Amino acid sequence: MLRKTLIPIVICVALACGATGSANAQGGEQLSSSWAQVNICSPTQLGARAQLAGDGSKARMSVSFTAEWLSPNGWVALAGAATSPSLSAGSAEYTWGQAGWTFDITVPPGFAYQLRAVANLQWSGGRSQTIVTGTCSVGG
């Protein structure tokens, strides 16, 4: 008898929590954070992904990435197509949106490099944020 009573209670609690999260997202509370990270790091590809926090508004969210390497003089953009196009991450009406990009790179044999990506996050209302990912090492 206890088991039959417990299952509906657990389901009701789970549904109530889900409904609260949706209501907060629609009410403009920020439920998640924005971030960017490297998700592919190889001698032939550098991939980056970003999450943009929604705020319940109708703003459109987008992100572009720039691939960089650590030169003796500091961080510089990779040669070639180092910046992605502007990528849609959806509507800020939702709790969050994500987008990613993979750069094709060539690391010469015998050389090692530190790589990272810089994510330029934008919301159509004029708000923007720049996030630098962690680094990764390739080659060697």
Structure confidence by residue, pLDDT tens digits, 76-89: 999 888 999 999 99
d(CA 44, CA 130): 25
Choosing among 3.40.50.800, 2.30.30.100, 3.40.50.150, 2.60.40.10, the CATH entry for 32-139 is 2.60.40.10
Nearest partner of 97 among 23, 32, 17, judged by Cα: 32
Rounded CA-CA distance 82/47 in Å is 12
Q: What predicted TM-score, i.e. pTM, was given to this entire model? A: 0.76
Q: Look up residue 101 and give its two tokens.
A: 């990009």
The C-alpha atoms of residue 89 and residue 60 are separated, in whole angstroms, by 8
Q: Which residue has the tokens 């530190």?
A: 114
Q: What letter represents residue 10's amino acid?
A: V
Q: Which long-range contacts does 68-72 make (Cβ < 8 Å, 24+ apart)?
A: 68/115, 68/116, 68/117, 68/118, 69/113, 69/114, 69/115, 70/113, 70/114, 70/115, 70/116, 70/135
Express each pLDDT in 6-60 by its tens digit: 333 333 333 333 333 333 334 444 457 999 999 999 999 999 999 999 999 999 9
Q: Domain limits of the chain?
A: 32-139
Beta strands in 22-59 (DSSP E): 35-41, 45-53
